[in-house]
């Protein structure tokens, strides 16, 4: 009996202790919440006071001085918050106390969300100003990565020289090796190449390791099997042909929407090709850096199998007022093109040969200096002077902002560049110039200086890959260049330039008709190096499709 009573007394005492401990924990939590609330009120009062001060200064101080002060304040606050977030990620204390770390982490993350939201708002407002009304946007297609951190993702390839290929990929593991193993049989790698990797930071985003490795020399017109970083899946690629014929797929303003997915499926199912050319506006990340990752994963099935040669558009710039991030940070890190091999000082413009030198492709930069005395103009003069048209019968150029355009969208935005560079392309007898930017398809006759000219390039706008902004639906009927426009339509799709031989090539535009791809426009071209071109009478091909020869 006495033992039972003692046990009951002990249990009651223990229960009382537990209740006391629970009350103490509850009181501690309540006190912590009260202190946090008080700290938040103090911070809010100081922020309000700072805003009042800034408003008063704004009335008195010049705008330039105010921007300078804002830039200094932003840099100081941003650097401190970045440091706090880095310490948190490493499991280190910022203040030496648990409560202090909790409050600081909450403030740093609030700053991160605020900056990201304001960044998106400013960027989208700046790009929407003065724009025409577009149709409702298509939902984004966000491709996830659910494999180990060391496994490669966002794999894409580009040509470096005639027999070399650059393999680019990303790993979440920043210590993964920058090695590519490859061979001509599945799973049997007879050669390997070691490259390098880089990372970049944009606000609070830090990229994974972005790897680049150059393999070769490779046999042309040959299928290779390769693996990146000694981990993950095996990929296949086919090298371009050593001679004509050669076929280019051309798409612009691609993005990552359901429209994009439709275009990519039509390219994959529309017959074989040798290389893809993209005249700017790739991911439409627009400062939201994770969208570069999802874009890379979306295009990987095609971009890992055939070379993707790209140039920049306005959506690759990603700069903002006050903050002044260096432009093209993400683009230059992720999409390294063969600019050094072509003698260019910048990744924003370069050139390369295809089909054993039978075609020379020039990728120009619409958003870097191109005027008299600029590095780009000097490089272009040297590059075109080095082309021997007896050996290279085909000369193709790509840029982003079109020089000729009858659509309401982006009127006149390429005019300054046209005045600065059109004569160089004309004198070099460039055969065709592709552009994007305007979200529609339009094909012009051969032109020079706003007049039909049989010695000038054919101009084609193909900014209809599937971007999130939608189509540019309205063309101007009375536009001064309307009589030079042979075909125009506001639909999504892609184009194919097949260079058949030294004198003839065929261009087709494939419209996305739901699950089908429809050849809506077709024209044959004669090389300006081979024969003096003469405009023939247009004939109508089957299905109401124009079939011209220029």
Helix, strand, coil shares of the chain as percentages rounded to 5?
35, 25, 40
The answer to whether position 516 is within a domain reads yes
The answer to whether position 312 is within a domain reads yes
The answer to whether position 164 is within a domain reads no
How many other CB atoms sit within 10 Å of the CB of residue 529? 19
Q: What are phi and psi of 498, to 5 degrees?
A: -105, 110
The answer to whether position 502 is within a domain reads yes
| Cα distance between residue 150 and residue 328, in whole Å | 26
Last residue of one domain, picked from the residues 101, 128, 155:
128
The set of residues, in sequence order, having a beta carbon less than 8 Å from that of 161 and lying 6+ positions away, is 216, 338, 341
> Chain centroid to CA 423: how far?
29
The answer to whether position 419 is within a domain reads yes
Is residue 447 located within the same domain as residue 299? yes
What is the pLDDT at residue 204?
Answer: 83
Count of domains for the chain: 2
Q: Tokens for 166, please give them.
A: 């650059």
Q: Which of 417, 473, 390, 469 is nearest to 123 (CA)?
A: 469
Helices 63-89 and 2-60: crossing angle in degrees, nearest 10, is 160
What is the pLDDT at residue 422?
Answer: 98
| Cα distance between residue 447 and residue 535, in whole Å | 12
What is the pLDDT at residue 103?
Answer: 64
What is the pLDDT at residue 174?
Answer: 95
Active site residues: 410
DSSP string covering 417-444? HHHHHHHHHHHTT--EEEE-SSSSEEEE
Q: For Cα atoms 392, 332, 329, give the angle at the middle one, nearest 5 degrees.
A: 155
Is residue 121 located within the same domain as residue 261? no
Walk along the chain (550 residues) and give the pLDDT tens digit of each residue: 445 555 555 555 545 555 566 666 667 766 766 766 666 666 667 666 666 665 555 555 555 454 455 554 555 555 556 556 555 655 667 666 666 666 666 665 665 555 555 544 444 454 444 443 445 557 888 898 999 999 999 999 999 999 999 999 999 999 999 999 999 999 999 999 999 999 999 888 999 999 999 999 999 999 999 999 999 999 999 999 999 999 999 999 999 999 999 999 999 987 899 999 999 999 999 999 999 999 999 999 999 999 999 999 999 999 876 555 689 999 999 999 999 999 999 999 999 999 999 999 999 999 999 999 999 999 999 999 999 999 999 999 999 999 999 999 999 999 999 999 999 999 999 999 999 999 999 999 999 999 999 999 999 999 999 998 889 999 999 999 999 999 999 999 999 999 999 999 999 999 987 667 789 999 999 999 976 544 433 333 333 444 556 7
The answer to whether position 197 is within a domain reads no
Distances (CA, A) of 416 to 137, 340, 536: 31, 26, 32
What is the pLDDT at residue 539?
Answer: 32
What is the pLDDT at residue 138?
Answer: 72
Q: Are 445 and 484 in contact (CB under 8 A)?
A: yes
Q: Which of 349, 476, 356 is nearest to 412 (CA)?
A: 476
Only one residue has tokens 């304040």, namely: 73
| Cα distance between residue 440 and residue 446, in whole Å | 19
Is residue 250 located within the same domain as residue 111? no
Q: Which domain holds residue 37?
A: 23-128
The answer to whether position 139 is within a domain reads no
Q: What is the CATH number of the domain that holds 382?
A: 3.60.21.10
What is the pLDDT at residue 444?
Answer: 98
Q: Tokens for 506, please give them.
A: 């065929």
Last residue of one domain, picked from the residues 128, 157, 179:
128
Q: Are 403 and 350 in contact (CB under 8 A)?
A: no
The number of residues making up the chain comes to: 550
Last residue of one domain, picked from the residues 78, 99, 128:
128
The answer to whether position 29 is within a domain reads yes
């Amino acid at each position: 009996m006495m033992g039972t009573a003692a046990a009951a007394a002990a249990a009651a005492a223990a229960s009382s202790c537990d209740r006391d401990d629970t009350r103490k924990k509850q009181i501690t939590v309540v006190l912590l919440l009260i202190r946090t609330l008080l700290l938040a009120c103090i911070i809010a009062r100081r922020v309000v006071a700072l805003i009042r001060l800034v408003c008063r200064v704004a009335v008195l101080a010049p705008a330039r001085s105010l921007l300078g002060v804002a830039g200094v304040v932003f840099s100081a606050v941003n650097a401190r918050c970045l440091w706090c977030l880095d310490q948190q990620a490493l499991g280190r204390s910022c203040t030496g106390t648990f409560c202090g770390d909790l409050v600081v982490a909450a403030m740093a993350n609030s700053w991160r969300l605020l900056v990201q939201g304001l960044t998106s708002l400013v960027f989208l407002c700046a790009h929407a100003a003065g724009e025409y009304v577009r149709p409702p946007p298509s939902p984004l297609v966000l491709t996830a990565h659910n494999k180990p951190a060391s496994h490669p993702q966002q794999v894409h390839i580009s040509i470096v020289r005639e027999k070399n290929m650059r393999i680019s990929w990303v790993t979440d593991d920043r210590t993964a090796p920058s090695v590519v193993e490859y061979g001509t049989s599945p799973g049997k790698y007879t050669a390997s190449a070691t490259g390098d990797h880089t990372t970049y930071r944009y606000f609070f985003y830090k990229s994974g390791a972005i790897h680049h490795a150059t393999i070769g020399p490779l046999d042309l017109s040959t299928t290779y099997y390769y693996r990146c970083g000694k981990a993950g899946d095996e990929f296949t690629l086919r090298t371009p042909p050593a001679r004509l014929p050669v076929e280019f797929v051309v798409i612009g303003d691609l993005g990552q929407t359901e429209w994009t997915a439709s275009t990519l499926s039509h390219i994959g199912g529309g017959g074989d090709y040798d290389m893809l050319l993209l005249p700017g506006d790739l991911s439409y990340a627009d400062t939201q850096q994770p969208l570069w990752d999802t874009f890379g994963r979306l295009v990987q099935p095609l971009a890992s199998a055939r070379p993707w040669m790209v140039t920049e558009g306005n959506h690759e710039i990603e700069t903002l007022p006050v903050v002044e991030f260096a432009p093209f940070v993400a683009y230059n890190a992720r999409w390294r093109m063969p600019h050094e091999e072509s003698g260019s000082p910048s990744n924003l413009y370069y050139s390369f040969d295809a089909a054993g030198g039978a075609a020379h492709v020039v990728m120009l930069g619409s958003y870097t200096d191109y005027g008299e005395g600029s590095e780009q103009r000097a490089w272009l003069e040297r590059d075109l002077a080095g082309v021997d048209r007896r050996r290279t019968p085909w000369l193709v150029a790509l840029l982003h902002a079109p020089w000729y355009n009858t659509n309401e969208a982006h009127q006149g935005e390429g005019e300054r560049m046209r005045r600065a560079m059109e004569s160089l392309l004309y004198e070099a007898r460039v055969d065709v110039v592709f552009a994007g930017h305007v979200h529609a398809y339009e094909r012009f006759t051969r032109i020079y200086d706003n007049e039909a000219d049989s010695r000038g390039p054919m101009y084609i706008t193909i900014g209809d890959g599937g971007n999130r902004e939608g189509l540019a639906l309205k063309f101007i009927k009375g536009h001064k260049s309307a009589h030079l426009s042979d075909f125009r339509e506001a639909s999504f799709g892609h184009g194919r330039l097949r260079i058949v031989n030294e004198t003839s090539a065929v261009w087709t535009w494939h419209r996305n008709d739901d699950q089908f791809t429809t050849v809506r426009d077709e024209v044959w071209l004669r090389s300006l190096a081979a024969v003096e071109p003469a405009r023939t009478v247009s004939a109508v091909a089957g299905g109401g499709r124009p079939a011209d020869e220029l």
